[in-house]
Amino acid sequence: MIKTKDLSFDYIRRDEEGNVESITRALDEVNISVKPGDFVAVLGANGSGKSTFAKHLDAILMPTEGSVYVNGMPTTDEDKLLDIRRTAGMVFQNPDNQIIGTIVEDDVGFGPENLGIPTEEIWERVDKALDRVGMTKYRCDSPNKLSGGQKQRVAIAGIMAMKPKCIILDEPTAMLDPVGRREVIKTAKELNEKEGVTVILITHYMEEVIEADRVIVMDAGKVVLEGTPRQIFSRVEQLKSFRLDVPQVTALAFELNKRGIPLPPGILTVKEFEEEYIKALSALEGDA
């Protein structure tokens, strides 16, 4: 679905006369391959290059060096631009940059309309997308009068209505409440499992990543770790060195382990923790 080959990208800052003032290497020889139907999470410090990477997948940015293929199409092929954007739909980090319609339902319908979808089907898709993100009640409101989290939901609905084969979510839950966050991740997971949509999720919430098939960790423009959530979250100290963390349950288990309580590394959920802790206690009683 997505493949990058030695992808590097430089942001070039110029002064008024056009002279180069500084160059920031935001991506540095990134090689990533995402298969259709994968659910991949991307973690990394602020400024590590996550959004820059995401923008390459939607052909918003072009590689300085190397190449990016979406469904086999090189993103530099201008004839394929529309095809690429139809395949890979992106929810931006700041929903304000994404929301264009003056009322919510128009905004959500804008994407499918641009794809030339028949009107009747557009409305069906809009209804369904708004329902999925819990914003039906606000369909006739103006997006710029919504709260931060509500805007984020509308932006997500807008991408869902385009039914892309691949959805790229750049910090989709940054402004959501805990239940809303869980719902967005659940929705992404459902799209992935039931409709086979490829999902690329960028987030700073460690507990959202445990649903992913694979986690990619970026640091200073490079991919520095790759693995299943359990593999990644077993490396507590190493993650900290990349300015990251582990879910709170994982941190609790790690702390107890340090204090001599035998819990396996990489515990990911509350339920798992409770089972393992009780197992550790009963093993004791068995000994006594």
Ligand X SMILES: Nc1ncnc2c1ncn2[C@@H]1O[C@H](COP(=O)(O)OP(=O)(O)OP(=O)(O)O)[C@@H](O)[C@H]1O
CA max distance for the chain: 80
CB of 12: closest distance to another protein in angstroms? 11
Question: What are the φ/ψ torsions at residue 18 (nearest 5 degrees)?
Answer: 90, 5
187 binds, among ligand X, another protein, Mg ion, none (CB under 5 to 8 A by kind): none
Q: Which is nearer to another protein, 73 or 280 (CB)?
A: 280
* Listed residue (280, 51, 18, 5) closest to 171, CA to CA: 51
Partner from Mg ion, ligand X, another protein, none binding residue 77, C-beta < 5-8 Å depending on class:
none
**Residue numbers at the binding site for ligand X (CB under 6 A):** 11, 13, 24, 26, 44, 46-52, 93, 145-150, 175
Residue closer to another protein, measured from CB, 226 or 255: 255
Nearer to another protein, 146 or 161 (CB): 146
* Distance, C-alpha 11 to centroid of its chain: 22
Q: How far apart are CA 279 and CA 261, in angstroms?
A: 11
| Half-sphere exposure at residue 174, Cβ-oriented, CA atoms within 13 angstroms | 17
**Binder among 36, 118, 148, 264 for Mg ion (CB under 5 A):** 148
Q: Which region among 86-94, 121-129, 205-213, 244-252 touches Mg ion (by CB under 5 A)? A: 86-94
Query: Which residue type, as a one-letter code, is found at position 19?
Result: N
Placement of tokens 């709170």 in the chain: 248
- Residue 15: CB atoms within 10 Å: 9
Pairing between strand 73-74 and 20-34?
unpaired
Q: Which residues have CB under 8 Å from 167's CB, separation 6+?
A: 88, 89, 90, 91, 159, 160, 188, 191, 197, 198, 199, 200
Is 192 a binder of Mg ion (CB under 5 A)?
no
- Which two tokens mark 247? 């879910």
Give the binding site for another protein (CB under 8 A). 11, 13, 44-48, 51, 93-94, 96, 145-150, 152-153, 171, 174-181, 204, 206-207, 240, 243-245, 247-249, 251-252, 255-256, 259-261, 270, 273-274, 277-278, 280-281, 284-285, 288
State which residue, 115 or 251, has the beta carbon closest to another protein.
Answer: 251
Q: Is the Cβ of residue 69 or residue 211 nearer to another protein in the bound state?
A: 211
Q: Is the Cβ of residue 73 or residue 251 nearer to another protein in the bound state?
A: 251
Contact 75, 69 (CB under 8 A): yes
Q: 120 vs 144, which CB is nearer to another protein? A: 144
Query: Least distance (Å) from another protein to the CB of residue 69?
Result: 25
**Please, are residues 121 and 128 in contact by the beta-carbon 8 Å criterion?**
no
Among another protein, Mg ion, ligand X, none, the one that 87 touches (CB under a kind-dependent 5 to 8 A) is none
Residue tagged 């507990």 (tokens):
207
CA distance 267 to 231: 10
Q: How far is the CB of 171 from Mg ion (least distance, A)?
A: 6
Q: Which residues bind Mg ion (CB under 5 A)?
A: 50-51, 93, 148
